[in-house]
């Protein structure tokens, strides 16, 4: 492991974040919110995305995390699904002082 962390680990965590966010988008496209099953699956995907973002940032890939978040903001969801997805992305943005 070098001075700035393990590059393979960084890439894996950034990929895991991207996959989790894509899964959330697919879930929002394919199912209606409000059911217990939907909420459970959505919550699990949110936790996976947050964990992947945390791991990637800890490995020194914070910039890549922000790029993934901004890329996926261009998603084509609409209406309530868009609002839910934006909320997930907003929760992942690292707030700086």
Grade residue 75 by pLDDT with cuts at 50, 70 and 90: confident
Q: Please name which of 16, 12, 15, 18 lies closest in space to residue 72, comparing C-alpha atoms.
A: 18
The answer to the question of residue 72 being in a domain is yes
pLDDT at 34: 75
The answer to the question of residue 1 being in a domain is no
The answer to the question of residue 3 being in a domain is no
pLDDT at 58: 92
Q: How many domains does the chain have?
A: 1
* pTM of the predicted structure, to 2 decimals: 0.81
The answer to the question of residue 97 being in a domain is no
Domain extent at residue 82: 8-24+33-92
């Amino acid at each position: 492991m070098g001075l700035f962390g393990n590059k393979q680990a960084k890439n894996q965590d950034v990929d895991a974040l991207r996959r989790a966010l894509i899964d959330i988008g697919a879930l929002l496209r394919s199912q209606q919110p409000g059911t217990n099953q939907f909420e459970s699956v959505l919550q699990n995907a949110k936790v996976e995305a947050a964990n992947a973002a945390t791991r990637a940032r800890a490995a020194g890939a914070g910039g890549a995390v922000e790029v993934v978040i901004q890329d996926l903001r261009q998603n084509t969801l609409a209406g309530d699904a868009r609002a839910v997805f934006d909320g997930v992305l907003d929760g992942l943005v690292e707030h700086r002082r």
